[in-house]
Amino acid sequence: MANIQATTLGSAQINDTQIPEGTVVVYRTKSGLYGKLLVISNGYNMLIDCVTYNNDGTVHSQASNLIIHGTWFADLDNCVEVNPPNAAADDFQWEIGSAVDPTTWNIAPANGATFAIYP
């Protein structure tokens, strides 16, 4: 967990082209817990494995083969998909497209959650 805490995290969106299969993304949830997710696949739906840690390094929550559907949200404190959105629980939205490029997908941080691609 110390490696995650030492990583510079940010609130910028992460585009799907930056996170191909096998990419590890580290995060700090809206409640201040640290964790990591493994991108198994991305596209309209994103498939991930995730684990979120308590401050003492023990596992707080985890999920394998978690699907985040296009336009839906994720609560990484509990490693669950959320729909409809719950403003108090959401850490990111798997955002589909934009007016500029409707063919891209983004991890769009929410509620102060921060992310980084792990080197």
Look up residue 43 and give its DSSP letter: S
Phi, psi of 61 (to 5 degrees): -160, 160
Which tens digits make up the pLDDT trace of 97-107?
A: 766 677 789 99
pLDDT value at residue 112 = 96
Question: Which range marks the domain in which residue 73 is found?
Answer: 2-117
Number of separate domains in the chain:
1
Question: What is the pTM for the complete model shown?
Answer: 0.92
Mind listing the pLDDT tens digit for each residue in 41-68?
998 899 999 999 999 999 999 999 999 9
Cβ–Cβ < 8 Å for 49, 63: yes
Q: What is the DSSP letter of 96?
A: E
